[in-house]
Amino acid sequence: MLTYSPEKFASLYATDLGQRIWAFLAQPENVARLETASELGKPAVEGLGEQLLAEFREDVLVDRVKQMVGHMVRQILEQRDWVLDQSDVKVQSVPFSKAARYRRPDWITFHAFRNTTDPRDVVITDRRQNPQLPGDARWSYYATFASPLKAAVAFGVGDIKQLRQQVHTQGFRRVRVERMLRRA
């Protein structure tokens, strides 16, 4: 069972709205939405924006309420073994403009660079600034990922430990990302 320690939000949490928001966020389907957004490397609340608006309408647009929602989400995810990855990540939806992103404690952030003449030629490294990349091509920054799911689906990397080891010893791992064909 999830528990909430309201701390600086004690007075707001004591209201009917505060109680309803906690009950809403703690519902298993909404926890799953928070975790799914986090698995995809997105701020957790991106998984709930529409549902929050549908349930609480303009009440969820108040800054203090949004802050409490973020506080609650953090406690929910921490109780489910997620850790804060980055705060103040831009969110492209109402009701939030910035939010926190979470990751699993054993995840490592990787950065992908594309060959400027062959976008299917990708190099994965653990450094965005001054990365050690192959000298036989020009590279442009492409993406950041930490999720093993994203590594597997987007870059064909099935073994994160092996990727981590190769990046540690060689500085990078080069992969070929082939185009997926759609079924008709």
- Give pLDDT, residue 124: 97
Which residues does 113 contact at the CB level (< 8 Å), separation at least 6? 122, 123, 124, 125, 131, 133, 139, 140, 141, 142
108-154 pLDDT per residue, tens: 889 999 999 999 999 999 999 999 999 999 999 999 888 888 899 89
4-33 pLDDT per residue, tens: 999 999 999 999 999 999 999 999 999 999
**Phi, psi (degrees; rounded to nearest 5) at 14:** -70, -15
